[in-house]
Structure formats: C-alpha cells, structure tokens
Amino acid sequence: MQLTEEQQQIREVARAFAQREIAPFAAEWDRAGGTPRELYQKMADVGLMGVMIDPQWGGAGADFVSYALAIEEISAADGGISNMMAANNSPVAMAIQQSGTDRQRRDYLTKLTSGEWLGSIHLTEPHTGSDAAAIRTRATRDGDEYVLTGHKAFITAGASAGVAMIVAVTDPDAGKRGITTFITPTDNPGYQVIAKETKLGHRTNDTCQVVFEDMRVPVSDVLGEPGRGLGIALGNLSLGRIAAAAQAVGGARAALNAGHSYAQEREAFGRPIFEHQAISFTLADMATQVEAGRQLYLHAAQMRDQGLDCAREASMAKLFAAEMAERVASKAIQIHGGYGYLNDYPVEKIYRDVRVYQIYEGTSEVQKMLISRMLDGIDGIDG
C-alpha cells in the first residue's frame, strides 16, 4: 500500500528515535534486565506513547496505520521496549479514551500520553490464557468502593506502570456479562507485585505476577459500565494482534539486516559469503517473507482505519508474521554460523525476542482456530 505523507513522517520519527535512543543500548539493557525509566518519557516527547489518542488528551491523533508503522520501527531496535509502548497505547490508553469519563481521561489518560505514567493491562491469570472469560479475580461492591481480590500473571509493566487496567468478576452468576474493568494507580495499597519473571526474551521490560489483597477501588474508577468489562478489555483485540504482527516484522527485519551486513563482511573461499548463492538466495527468501508480513499487517491496519471488520485479516497477519519472524531470525543465526550463537552479535538476542510473538495476543493455534471459523467469503473458498 502507498503511505500518506503523515504516515511516512510518523514512521521516520519512530525510526530516528529507535536508531538514536534505543538501538545503541539495547544489548546492554538486555543484559541488565531493564530499561531506564526516562526512555519512555523521551518516547512520549516525540508522540509515541499516545499515537492514536486525541490531541485534547495529549496524543498525536494519528491513524492506526501510523501506529503500526511506529511499532515496527521500535521493535526493530528492541522487542521488549516495543511491547511496553504497545501496552501503553492499546489497550490501556485507547480503552480509557473510548470508554472513560472526562475525569478519567484527565486524571489517567493525560499521564499516559505524557510519559509520566506507564499503563499495564491485567487480564491474564495463572490458570487462564486465551480463555479470558474464565478469570477468577473478584470485585465486590462495598458502598462507594469495590474490593478486589485476585492473582494476575504475565503482566507487562506490572512493576513499572503507574496505572493498572484490571479485569475482574463482579457478578459470578452472569458469565461474560458479569465482568467489569477498573482503572487504579499502582500505588494503591492493595496492589502487590509478588514476582518479576525471568524470561527468554523481552528482558528490557518487566513481566510480573501481581496480586490484589482486598484492594479498594472507588466506583468512580470503573471503566465504562459494570458488566461490560470483557468487551472493553477485548474490544481492541484486532488492534493488539496487528500490533503484534508489526512487532514481529520489526524483529524479523532486524534479523534480516544483521544477516545481510554479516554476509557482506564475512569471507569464505576467497570472497564475501553473500556472493555464494546459498547465502544470497537465503537472504532473498528472508526479505520476501519480511515484506509479506509487512503487507499483511498494513492491509489489516488500513481496513481498521476504514471502519471495516478486520478480525480475520488481523489473525492472518499475526499468525504469519509471528511464525515468519522465528524462521527469519533462525536463518540469520545460520548465516552467522557459530558467531550467531553468541551474544556478541545481535541475532542471538533477536531470536530470543521474536519467539514470544507466537504466544501473546493469542497463540498461533488460537489464530488458526479463528481463521478457520472465518473462511467463508475468501475468494476461492466454497465458490
């Protein structure tokens, strides 16, 4: 697809920021297991922490294609940082913009877009993954407050976030209609981080287990209407899957670039290994797969901007890009030979970072299940 001038500008802003502020330090931050907090303030200063949010609330007011392009650029520099950016932008900031009151937008949303706070979404629990409706965290009404008790897992920015968007059951007998979403500052006394996970990749962000022990949240901090929480939390599922596809493309692109650079420098049998057909053809195949992934996510993002149902296209983009990224990163390691297995070269880290894209925002198996249910209407299927 052809990008508009604004979309190109946002991509260039994100690319320049990633190359200047992230790429030179990503390996160091990966080894340290964290990122300086001020990095996200800098990201906010160039509009990356509220890309789609209305300027009234401190956002850039851009479209979804622009956001996806920005995510790809940040991910090409570091996957873990792009995931922090994604969580802050959508679902948290987008959900508050769409379903929050003006007071909630003023008190919470403006802090997210300015970088003062980071946002975290608290949906997954230790016993639930893709089955979001099976959550057990409870919120019981007590006068003008709700009392929350529960245990959340795999929470991106669980320790570093300033505001938590929490999904909890308010009516156990109502099924999916008995789930409510809350927002609360993480300095709430009942909010407790009980573990920071040690991970294969995305080590530049914190992934936590969080418990709520009789945590009190005012009724005024219900997001949207009681009982509509699952729809609010999952209402932007397609956005999350397209963003994950963009992250995967960014990681794959970084692996491709690393492999290409190494192939031009490394010599074997008297010439650069790029001049050997086995290597040049491998790189050609890698480049084709990266571009295919990019076009899939851009197509889905454009559909979303046009107000079209893009659930199928989002799942296709996420499925293809996530699995493609691991293949491309693996090939980049192979091009490097033994050096690719060492953390002296970036492909080792890239390989670790891209593996998770087949898991979060719906596993590859879930995407296949969803796509199979939406086969009607594809050219060549059933007539």
Active site residues: 361
DSSP state of 212: E
Give strand ranges (E) for the chain: 119-122, 138-142, 145-156, 163-169, 179-185, 191-196, 207-218, 222-223, 267-268, 271-272
- What tokens were used for 274? 């790029």
The number of beta carbons lying within 10 Å of the beta carbon of residue 343 is 12
Say how far apart CA 251 and CA 315 lie, in whole Å: 18
DSSP state of 261: H
Residue by residue, DSSP assigns 70-113 as HHHHHHHH-HHHHHHHHHIIIIIIHHHHHH--HHHIIIIIHHHH
Say how far apart CA 66 and CA 118 lie, in whole Å: 21
Residue 182 burial (C-beta neighbours within 10 Å; 0-12, 13-18, 19+)? buried
Strand partners, 267: 272
Residue by residue, DSSP assigns 287-301 as HHHHHHHHHHHHHHH
- Pick from 209, 242, 217: which is nearest to 357 by CA? 242
